[in-house]
Chain A
Amino acid sequence: MGDHAKPAKNHAFFQHHFNTVGQQAGAAKMGMWLFLATEVLMFSGLFLAYFVVRALYPEMVLSSHELLDKTMGGINTVVLLTSSFTMAMAVRYAQLGDNKRCATQLLITLACAFIFLGVKYVEYTGKFSHGIFPGGYFHYDEAAQYAHSHGHSFRGLPHVFFGLYFVMTGLHGVHVLAGIGVIVWVYLRAKRGDFKDGYYAPVENVGLYWHIVDLVWIFLFPLLYLVK
């Protein structure tokens, strides 16, 4: 409810149906947190599916995950962590009304996002070239041969593991793409100098979103790449 005593300020981005700027900012923040909760719940459904598959076929998951490239996964983890840091900096600058620095930080964040997707692209095409396609398109013989040449052997039904791998990282990738979209949007607004006088909710909300995307990866990485 906020403090209705304070009159509505004539702020550029103030919407009439609120009584105060504080109320508006509070609503925006709460809405964002709720949205993030739905994101987390959605991914937790996938994690659940993963744990069920893992409980059903522990051997299969162990033997299949060896084919994922831990180095690339590791690089991506570092890249995303870095981007989370620069995103936090961007929020800080927006708070201070320093649109220029904010824009720079956002640019670095964007660069990280692209690096992440680039690495994923290399990983995906690498898999495809050895017959590791999602689900029913999986070429067992070709993939098994590839596994063999790396000193591993499949047990059970590897296509289930890779199917999940593609779905989980794919959905995460879609979220990275959406993240790029919204970061570009706040970047343009920072360029325009929108964030001042304590108005920085968009950057903050985009930041929160980006941290969640990061957080999901922090779970995906060990579960998929580092199963033991």
Chain B
Amino acid sequence: MADAHSTESNYLTATTGLKSWLFTLDHKRIGLMYLVGVLVFFLAGGVFALTLRTELLTPQGGDFISATTYNKMFTLHGAVMVFLVIIPSVPAALGNFLLPLMLGAKDVAFPRLNLLSFWIYTLGSMFFLFTLAAGQLDTGWTFYTPYSNTTGTAVISATFGAFILGFSSILTGLNFIVTVHKMRAPGMTWNKMPLMVWALYSTAVIQVLATPVLAITLLLLIVERTLMIGIFDPAMGGDPVLYQHFFWFYSHPAVYIMILPGFGIESELIAVHSRKHIFGYKAIALSSVAIAIISFVVWGHHMFVSGQSELAGIVFSFLTFAVAVPTAIKTFSWVATLYKGSIEFNTPMLYGLMFLFTFSIGGLTGIFLGALSVDVHLHDTYFVVAHFHYVMMGGTIIAFVGGIHHWWPKMFGVMYSEKWGKISALFIFVGFNMTFFNQFLLGQQGMPRRYWSYAPQFQQQHILSTVGGYLLLVGFMIIAIYLVHSLRNGEKVGPNPWNAQSLEWTATASPPIEHNFHGQPRVENDPYNFPEIDRTGSSH
């Protein structure tokens, strides 16, 4: 039905002027604004990272930046990447754009709240920028007490920024939950929702349940800092380890806030570009929910050597392994989806396959960290740094970049250069593994993290890691260039260039019209029933 109206105005052209963007209630525009914000901060976070890497070229400190600057850099890098990039990346940017389209709704349930959430995000990031200007902060993204109570830098403005960002995240989550419950098109039963929607839904549940705890933790930290209440600071009779419990109670579920949407994208990429029904739909959908639940009870695995009780350590280790099983199920299901498919190696699919490679390494190295005695050795070394980059960068960011390529024709109605897409994917694959695989080797040799200078025997791997970092920069630069280029010069595409089966492709134009659909779409088909699927079940 979309083809008939393909010449009429779309959501990009419906209204014009800056105001029509900044005060828009259209979920698609809000999603795009988030996307721009997220990418700008990704660039900033990447520049901070390369500053770190450059300093680490030599073992002695001070060749490039001072210890103080180094400490501020990794704090900013971690905090920007976590709070400003990865948490909003998939849900707030792509999710906002896609959720109503995939459900067959005209908008999210609360469009005003959605806009508010974007503005809160902007405000929170302003606070972070203010932190940059106001002497910066050097606590690490974890803000551990008592260090964060005593250090002279701008802890208050940064934590307040994170506190504000928390609200943005809560509002988005709340909006998504209600949207999924109340706004599904006729015929869209829970079992016909694309897996991306399931993933956004589970993510939203964690956002709503866990973020308030972060809010109160940061609030307590601020009060502790300003009024010296004495709950975390041992000098005042408090317990510094209590802070860690609070922090990880949020931040462990937060790592699944980061990865679940990535899983959602992965399911779409693998199924659509191999034109195969996703394998084990129910298992993938329900394992997200299982992860969402179990993720709340494993936070203590960040504290095996912090002096928490031995029993606590044992329980947390057990639960950590429990949460790995649903992830294993997903991984196997994606690979099985490829079986007897029709696999096309276009750019989105390359990222889909790259995800399987890098995320598996990241997840599998989580097993080392979950094992108590081994974690004693690996905790706070580069092994942990490598692990979380493999899951966050190699998982979520790779999926995110794949998702951007997959939905780019939908968002803008144009196609980018496939050739450059493949070249940059190669840069990113090589650069990424070079940067971070070396860090596993460093970590197991005992190289501690957050070190500005280090013992000479570690230099070789550090150099390789730095070179890899620069390759990543090149790769992302290429992407940025050809994507921007495609906006003007890209080949125009029809509503459904991938020939996919979910509503955002079958029932809307590219780019979609302002109100998404003409009339009310109805859903009969399952989103993964591709026309090529051989009904007889026989194969060749």
* Complex interface: chain A residues within 8 A of B526 (CB): none
Do A45 and B181 have beta carbons less than 8 Å apart?
no
Taking a contact as CB atoms under 8 Å apart, the answer to whether A34 and B177 are in contact is yes
Q: Is B236 interfacial (CB 8 A cutoff)?
A: yes
Contacts of A31 in B (CB 8 A): 109-110, 113, 174-175, 178
A137 touches B227 (CB 8 A): yes
A45 touching B229, Cβ below 8 Å:
no
Q: Is A26 on the interface with B (CB-CB < 8 A)?
A: yes
Residues of A within 8 A of B170 (CB): 38
Bound CA span A15–B105, Å: 13
Tell me whether A4 is interfacial, beta carbon within 8 Å. Answer: yes
Stretch from B77-85, B212-220, B456-464, B495-503 at the A interface: B212-220
The B94-117 residues at the A interface (CB cut-off 8 A) are: 105-107, 109-111, 113
Binds A, one of B134-142, B182-190, B304-312: B182-190
In the complex, the chain B residue whose C-beta lies closest to that of A137 is B227
Asked if B109 contacts A45 (CB within 8 A), the reply is: no
Of B29-37, B120-128, B237-245, the one touching chain A:
B237-245
In the assembled complex, the CB of B24 is this many whole angstroms from the nearest CB of chain A, namely 13
* Interface membership of chain B positions 31-60, coded 1 if the CB is closer than 8 angstroms to chain A and 0 otherwise: 000000000000000000000000000000
Asked if A163 contacts B231 (CB within 8 A), the reply is: yes
Say yes or no: A2 contacts B213, CB within 8 Å.
no
Find out whether the CB atom of A42 lies under 8 angstroms from the CB atom of B216: yes
In the complex, A42→B178 CA distance in Å? Answer: 20
Query: Which A11-28 residues have a C-beta within 8 angstroms of B?
Result: 15-19, 23, 26-27
Are A38's CB and B211's CB within 8 A?
A: yes
**How far, in angstroms, from A135 to B230 measured CA to CA in the complex?**
6
A41 touches B109 (CB 8 A): no
Partner of A17, one of B105, B174, B230: B105
A153→B184 CA distance, assembly (Å): 63
Interchain nearest-CB distance for A141 vs B (Å): 17
Let me know if A53 and B246 touch, CB within 8 A.
Answer: no
Most chain B C-beta atoms within 10 Å of own C-beta, residue among A4, A19, A171: A19
Shortest distance from the beta carbon of A30 to any chain B beta carbon, whole Å = 5
Residues of the A chain whose Cβ atoms lie less than 8 Å from the Cβ of B343: none
Chain A CB within 10 A, most for which of B208, B213, B237: B237
Distance to closest chain B CB from A53 (angstroms): 6
- Per the bound structure, the CA–CA distance linking A164 and B181 in Å amounts to 38
Closest B residue to A133 by CB, please name it. Answer: B227
User: Which listed residue, B181, B217, B220, touches A30 by the CB 8 Å rule?
Assistant: B181
Quick one: closest B residue to A16, CB to CB?
B106
Of A42, A49, A163, the contact of B215 (CB 8 Å cutoff): A42
In Å, the complex CA distance between A41 and B209 comes to 7
List A99-127 residues whose CB lies under 8 Å from chain B. none
Query: B111 touching A159 by the CB < 8 A rule?
Result: no
Q: Which residues of B contact A171 (CB under 8 A)?
A: 219
Contact-residue size bin, chain B (C-beta under 8 Å from the other chain): 35 or more
In the bound complex, CA of A35 to CA of B319 (Å)? 29
Binary CB contact string for chain A from 64 to 107 against chain B (1 if under 8 A, 0 otherwise): 00000000000000000000000000000000000000000000
- In the bound complex, CA of A39 to CA of B359 (Å): 35
Q: Which of A17, A137, A157, A171 has the most CB of B within 10 A?
A: A17
A226 within 8 A of B: no
Q: How many Å from the CB of B419 to the closest CB on chain A?
A: 40
- Any chain B CB within 8 A of the CB of A136? yes
Contact B520 A19 (CB under 8 A): yes
- Measured between C-beta atoms, what is the minimum distance from A226 to chain B in Å? 21
Q: Which residue of A lies closest to B249 (CB)?
A: A45
A17–B229 contact, CB under 8 A?
A: no
Closest to A15 in B: B111
Contacts of B209 in A (CB 8 A): 37-38, 41
B186–A4 CB distance below 8 A: yes
Are A34 and B174 in contact (CB-based, < 8 A)?
yes
**Contacts of B510-534 to chain A: CB distance below 8 A:** 515, 520
Interface pair B110/A27, CB less than 8 Å apart: yes
Contact between B215 and A1, CB atoms less than 8 A apart:
no
Complex: how many Å from CA A171 to CA B222?
A: 13
In the bound complex, do residue A26 and residue B182 qualify as a contact, i.e. CB atoms below 8 Å apart? yes
Tell me the residues in window 112-162 of chain A with beta carbons closer than 8 Å to chain B beta carbons: 134-137, 156-157, 159-160
Which residues on B sit within 8 Å (CB–CB) of A35?
Answer: 174
Given A19-B520, A160-B230, the answer on whether A45 and B213 have CB atoms closer than 8 Å is yes
Cβ–Cβ < 8 Å partners of B515 in chain A:
16-17
Q: Pick from A1, A56, A136, A159: contact of B182, CB below 8 A.
A: A1
Find out whether the CB atom of B231 lies under 8 angstroms from the CB atom of A49. Answer: yes
Inside 8 A of B336's CB, which chain A residues have their CB?
A: none
Residues of A within 8 A of B231 (CB): 49, 52-53, 160, 163-164
Taking CB atoms, residues of chain A closer than 8 Å to B109 are 27, 31
B216 touches A46 (CB 8 A): yes
Instruction: Tell me, yes or no, whether B223 is within 8 Å of chain A by CB.
Output: yes
Beyond A27-B181, A37-B208, A135-B223, 11 additional pairs, beta carbon < 8 A: A17-B107, A34-B178, A38-B209, A41-B209, A41-B212, A42-B215, A45-B216, A49-B231, A156-B237, A163-B227, A167-B220
Chain B interface residues toward A at CB < 8 A: 105-107, 109-111, 113, 170, 174-175, 177-178, 181-184, 186, 208-209, 211-213, 215-217, 219-220, 223-224, 227-231, 236-239, 242, 246, 515, 520
